[in-house]
Homo-oligomer: A and B are copies of this chain.
Amino acid sequence: MNSLKIPITVNENKNEKTPSNQLVFGTKFTDHMFIADYTEGQGWHDHRIVPYQPITLDPSASILHYGQTVFEGMKAYLSEDGIVRLFRPEENMKRMNNSCDRLSMPQIDEEFALDALKQLIELDKEWVPAEPGTSLYIRPFMIATEAHLGVSASKTYSFIIIMSPVGSYYKEGIHPVKILVENEYVRAVAGGTGTAKTAGNYASSLKAQEVADREGYSQVLWLDGIERKYIEEVGSMNVFFKIDGEVVTPALNGSILDGITRKSIISLLKHWGVPVTERKVSMEEIREAYLNGKLDEAFGTGTAAVISPIGELRWKGELFYVNNGETGELSQKLYDALTGIQKGTVEDPFGWVVEVK
């Protein structure tokens, strides 16, 4: 679908903008959205940029019953030089296609989708906030739209991109959060959908999150669903630990998400000469490192929060205070480097940043 021009219907009733310092994550959207429709046998068609507007679905549409949907999360940043930058957007489009494969959904043309996104950002450029810590959060997603209650892959889909100006994901910002290690609920196992960015993984996580909330914790730390020993993710982020000077993170094992922030951090650490290993990490290992005074830092990583330091972990009634509950030196350095590259204020030695227009 690469050579097509995208018809644009301009929104004549501009949405009112929220001041940058009052932005809440994912509640306010820009003036326009991108849509393309897919029909089996015909492929993608009717690409269009239209005013941000409700979606109309038959009550029997697959997405509402059988959860055939995938999404991505990415951000655009406005720098002082007035340039809007995207961070490794081609990685998001590639991962979206991997998710689509797992969910028996059609592939998108990654290059065209990125081009459509750039056109959408260009049109809604005034929505990209400028203040430190703010960005334009971008949500490409695909939903199954066929009106049919049989359990089978839908014959029709819509691919949609919406955008939302955001402040920090967590109200704590870069401040450390308290994490509850989850022993009852499981996020995913190998053979399931854990590696895909799909609705079911998130739906499954809400109950544990609810329990954590009640006990005063921001997020849960997920353990593997088989032995309930090994660390998987934290909330909806990948997780890293600095133990005795070495950085470790759970290896991609068929049940955790191949995070773009995760892989960027591994590259940054290697670039800096900091030892970093992808391997199995057990909670018992974390406990021992803590008791021996070797658990230096812990943090979650993801597009929404970038780096989310962990200040406290609770596991089976035991409390571990990481780095005295403060943001660690490496966590801060990684946050500054990554957000600096994203904002265009720090040199990008990797070619990660893509300028819009």
A positions within 8 Å CB-CB of B: 25-27, 29, 33, 52-61, 63-69, 71, 101-104, 137, 139, 141, 143, 147-153, 160, 162, 164, 169, 184-193, 198-207, 209-210, 225-226, 235-236
Asked if A33 and B54 sit within 8 Å, CB to CB, the answer is no
CB within 8 A of A192: which of B152, B186, B206?
B186
Asked if B52 and A55 sit within 8 Å, CB to CB, the answer is no
CB within 8 A of A191: which of B71, B151, B186?
B186
Which residue on chain B has the smallest CB distance to residue A206? Answer: B104
Q: Do A199 and B66 contact each other (CB < 8 Å), given the known contacts A25-B150, A149-B25? A: yes
Q: For the complex, give the distance between the alpha carbons of A64 and B168 in Å.
A: 23
Q: Which residues of B contact A152 (CB under 8 A)?
A: 206, 209
Q: Which residues of B contact A236 (CB under 8 A)?
A: 151
Asked if B191 and A184 sit within 8 Å, CB to CB, the answer is yes
Q: Which residues of B contact A189 (CB under 8 A)?
A: 186, 189, 192, 225-226
Asked if A29 and B60 sit within 8 Å, CB to CB, the answer is yes
CB within 8 A of A65: which of B102, B103, B141?
B141
Asked if A56 and B59 sit within 8 Å, CB to CB, the answer is no
Asked if B71 and A65 sit within 8 Å, CB to CB, the answer is yes
A109 to chain B, nearest CB (A): 21
Asked if B65 and A67 sit within 8 Å, CB to CB, the answer is no
Q: A69-B203, A151-B209 are in contact. List 10 more A-B contacts (CB 8 A).
A: A55-B57, A55-B61, A60-B164, A65-B141, A67-B69, A68-B206, A189-B192, A189-B225, A191-B225, A225-B225
- Residue from the set A150, A205, A206 with the largest chain B CB neighbour count within 10 Å: A206
Q: Which residues of B contact A192 (CB under 8 A)?
A: 185-189, 192, 204, 225
- Residue from the set A53, A185, A200 with the largest chain B CB neighbour count within 10 Å: A200
Q: Which residues of B contact A67 (CB under 8 A)?
A: 67, 69, 198-200, 202-203
Q: For the complex, give the distance between the alpha carbons of A69 and B200 in Å.
A: 9
Q: Which residues of B contact A191 (CB under 8 A)?
A: 184-186, 225
Which residue on chain B has the smallest CB distance to residue A101? Answer: B207
Q: Which residues of B contact A58 (CB under 8 A)?
A: 54-55
Asked if B33 and A59 sit within 8 Å, CB to CB, the answer is yes
Q: Which residues of B contact A103 (CB under 8 A)?
A: 203, 206-207
Which residue on chain B has the smallest CB distance to residue A228? Answer: B191
CB within 8 A of A202: which of B57, B59, B66, B184?
B66
Q: For the complex, give the distance between the alpha carbons of A46 and B226 in Å.
A: 44
A221 to chain B, nearest CB (A): 14
Q: For the complex, give the distance between the alpha carbons of A266 and B68 in Å.
A: 33
Asked if A27 and B139 sit within 8 Å, CB to CB, the answer is no
Q: For the complex, give the distance between the alpha carbons of A258 and B141 in Å.
A: 32
Q: Which residues of B contact A63 (CB under 8 A)?
A: 63-64, 199
